[in-house]
Each structure stands twice: as C-alpha cells, then as structure tokens.
Amino acid sequence: MKIKNIRAYRHQFKLTRPYKIAYKTHTTAENVIVEITTDEGKIGLGAASPSPEVTKETIDACLTSLVNSTSWCEGRNIDEFSLLKRECYAHLTATPAACAAMDIALHDLYAQTLNKPLVEVLGRVHHQLPTSITIGIKNVEETLQEAEEYISRGFKVLKVKLGSNLEEDMVRLIKLREHFTNTITIRVDPNQGYTLQDLIVFLDKTKELKIEFVEQPLKVSDTSQLYQLPKHYLNMIMLDESVLNAKDAIKMLTPSPCCGIFNIKLMKCGGIHGALQIASLAETSGIDLMWGCMDESIISITAALHAAFSSPATKYIDLDGSLDLENDVVTGGFHLVDGMMSTVDSPGLGVRKIG
C-alpha cells in the first residue's frame, strides 16, 4: 500500500468559552489538519496545534512546512513505517507541531493497515484513566461556578491555572477546597508565573489543601533553581515547557531529577515517536508522566491518549483540549464517561471525518 497524496489545511475552531493563562487569553484555536491518502483509499489523519510560546512556530510556519516538506513521503510504502516516522523528524525538525501532525497521520494509517487500534500496535498498558479539566485564571466566584459545572458533568479532577497573583491564587484554592472538601482532586499550573520564593511560599501555605502537583511553576530559564527545593516538594513538581523533547528530558534528569513528573505533549516533541522516547527515559528514571495538550482536534487528543496508554510510566492525563471546541472536523476517537477516558475499539485512531 503506497502513499498517494498528502493534504494539509488550516481550520479555526471557536472555543466554548475564553480562558486566561498567566501570559495570554484565548478565544479561538487554529489547527492544521493533515490527511495522508493511499492508493487503496485509506486515509490517515493528523492535527497540529502550533504555539509560538510552546512549539516555537506560528500557524503559518506550521502549514508552510507541511505543504513544502512532505513530498519525500509520497510514493512510499506504508510498510516502511519505522523508517518513515524517523524521516518525518529529520524533515520537520524546525516545526514540531507540523511534525506531530504528520507523525500522527502515519501512525493512524499504519495501524489501520494492521486492522488494529493504534494502542494495541504500540502495546497497551492502560485501559482507562481520569482526565483533568482546566479552569483558567478567574476570580473566586467564577472559579467555583465553573468547578460546579464540571463536577456536574462527572469530572473529578480539576486543573486550575495560576500565576498572575500569588495571594489571589491561594485564596481561590482555599475557597475551592472549602467548597468541595475532599470530593475532587486539585492540580495547579502557574504557567511559569512564580519565582522560587513564590513557589516555596505557595507550597508551604497550601499544604493542607492536598494539591496533587504543581506544573511548570518557574520560567524555563530558572528550572535549575528547583534543586533548592526539599525532596518532598521536588516530587510534586511537574515540568512542561522545560521538557520539549528527549534531549530536554535528559537535561532535567542530570545529574539527578529536578522534578517528579514530566508533562508530555505531542505538539512539543513532534508526535508519538518523540513522545515515546521521553516516556522511555521517564520509565527508566522513575519519573511519572502526565500527557497534556493544547486546544486540539479530537484527532491529536486521541493520538496522545493511545500513546499514554502504551507507557508504564503514565500516571496522569490532561487531555481536555478538544472539549473546549464548539465543533470538530472528526467524530469518534475516545469514550468519555464521568471524566474517565478510554479508546474506541476501531482500527488506527478510530476517528471519522465529518462531511
């Protein structure tokens, strides 16, 4: 079965509600969709969600890369999958989200040719996990209202964005815990918004709130300061923007781990192939994994779920990105029941184009 054609196009999604993080407010999300078609009519789907702040590429750069740098794949046999996915990284190194879209489409297509769900091809370890759902930076009343909404929909794990004001952050979390006592799990993400001193104050003053972990509290340039934290606090730290790829993961583990958890996002590391390189390092080093996302199509959210379920190091998932979209270009992909995510039993990613 040979690759006949590769199509890439941009699609803008409207968000169900705007949300604010430490450095930006989002109202829409723009993805690049990739379709790889074979001479037998099978279609592998991928999606890219580039971000200048995270993946270091614009939507224009992402699309241009996919339009101009994928001809190497045309005419190739999908049986060359192992070689194709490595070549994908070589050709699209400068645009990791574009690479992720192509990588995802290749994985989807290959698993379809084997007539198996992708996770079974990768080697399933997990069958279902609870995903967190994210609350942006809001005042106390809005935070409680949004939390009520999510809990009424069955979610039991909330990730709260912080980082604009330390005192306000702590007040929000205190009120959230008072309101819901022990019925929910709370994780937080300051999005590089704290100094080391802020972080120490935060950790000391929120001990009783049972915060599960703190994601990327310091600027990437300040990551080494984490070594100054006591060991019991260090294990609560998750690194996101500090770990873009396997090389970054090695740095964060040397000379000893400066955190307890890595957040893997397919968009940062160029897709499933790069993600599983990080996952292997984490497993070997005793680092837990969370699999996260941006505002993304069901296509790439599902791809992250399949990859997550194939790693023994996976402990958490934060794959709510497609839930923020008013509509999508596909259906299927995963089941979501009371906040628990599982894959569908269909070949490849199990997603179907709409229209």
pLDDT tens for residues 259-304? 999 999 999 999 999 999 999 999 999 999 999 999 999 999 999 9
In order of their start, the domains of the chain are 3-115 (3.30.390.10), 120-353 (3.20.20.120)
Q: What is the pLDDT of residues 208-236, one digit of tens each?
A: 999 999 999 999 999 999 999 998 999 99
pLDDT of residue 79: 95
pLDDT of residue 351: 98
Burial of 305-315, coded b for 16+ CB within 10 Å and e otherwise, reads: bbbbbbbebbb
Which one has a higher pLDDT value, 20 or 7?
A: 7
Average pLDDT, the chain: 95
pLDDT of residue 301: 98
pLDDT of residue 24: 64
What's the average model confidence in pLDDT over 179-196?
A: 94
And the tokens for 66?
A: 């996919």
Please state whether the peptide bond connecting residue 217 to the residue before it is cis, i.e. omega within 30 degrees of 0: no
Please, are residues 222 and 245 in contact by the beta-carbon 8 Å criterion?
Answer: no
pLDDT of residue 98: 98
How many CB atoms sit inside 10 A of residue 17's CB? 11
Please check the confidence at residue 10 and state whether its pLDDT lies above 70. yes
What's the average model confidence in pLDDT over 299-328?
A: 97
Pairing of strands 43-48, 24-38: antiparallel
pLDDT of residue 19: 66
pTM: 0.96
What's the average model confidence in pLDDT over 71-76?
A: 94
Q: Where are the alpha helices (DSSP H) in 5-160?
A: 59-68, 81-91, 96-113, 118-122, 140-152
Complete DSSP assignment for 32-46: EEEEEEETTS-EEEE
DSSP category for residue 80: G
Please check the confidence at residue 346 and state whether its pLDDT lies above 60. yes
Q: Across the strands, what pairs with 331?
A: 352
Please, are residues 137 and 78 in contact by the beta-carbon 8 Å criterion?
Answer: no
pLDDT of residue 181: 85
Structure-token match 């080494």, residue found:
224
Which one has a higher pLDDT value, 22 or 208?
A: 208
Complete DSSP assignment for 288-301: EEEE---S--HHHH
pLDDT of residue 182: 82
Residue 21's pLDDT band (cuts 50, 70, 90): low
Residue 20's pLDDT band (cuts 50, 70, 90): low
Residue 183's pLDDT band (cuts 50, 70, 90): confident
Least confident piece of the model among 26-30, 116-120, 218-222: 26-30
Please check the confidence at residue 244 and state whether its pLDDT lies above 90. yes
Q: What is the pLDDT of residues 124-158, one digit of tens each?
A: 999 999 999 999 999 999 999 999 999 999 999 99
pLDDT of residue 16: 87
Least confident piece of the model among 8-12, 24-28, 145-149, 190-194: 24-28
With a CB cutoff of 8 Å and minimum separation 6, the contacts of 181 are none
